[in-house]
Amino acid sequence: MNTMSAFIMGEINRGKEEMVFNWDKAAKLIKDSGFKDASAGLSGDWKYTSGEIFINGKPKMSDYTYLASTWATPQIEIDGEYYDCYRMESETPNWHSKTMWPNSALKIINKD
């Protein structure tokens, strides 16, 4: 999506509640899949918002991702498959666009 389109979508959806990446669901999906790599981003704007979140079987804490939006759905990509992966902002424990691997998700991913 180009910058102007993203700006217009943002203006149209101004004031709406954000969809925020669901780290707990992502951890469960990664754990259940058994895959060692995963990425996350926003549908329709993956090129500018996505990044690796799980590499070689370990959470990655230092990649750029932007994982909240009023109009683009946060997703996780595992082995070429994309899954919607979000909670509404009012349902999250203070997660936002820059939240990376909160403790609840780390507990899930590290559970044996």
**Six-digit token pair at 106?**
């780390």
Q: What is the pLDDT of residues 26-52, one digit of tens each?
A: 999 999 999 999 999 999 888 889 999
Rounded-to-integer distance, Cα 82 and Cα 85, Å: 9
Average pLDDT over residues 54-64: 89
> pTM for the complete prediction?
0.85
Q: According to the model, what pLDDT value does residue 6 have?
A: 57
Amino acid in the structure at residue 16: K
Residue 102 CB partners (closer than 8 Å, separation 6+) = 23, 93, 95
CA distances to 17, 26, 33, 54, 89 from 81, in Å: 26, 13, 11, 15, 25
Helix (H, G, I), strand (E, B) or coil at 109: helix
Please say if the pLDDT value at position 1 is more than 70: no
> How confident is the model over 60-99, as pLDDT tens digits?
987 788 899 999 999 999 999 999 999 999 998 889 888 9
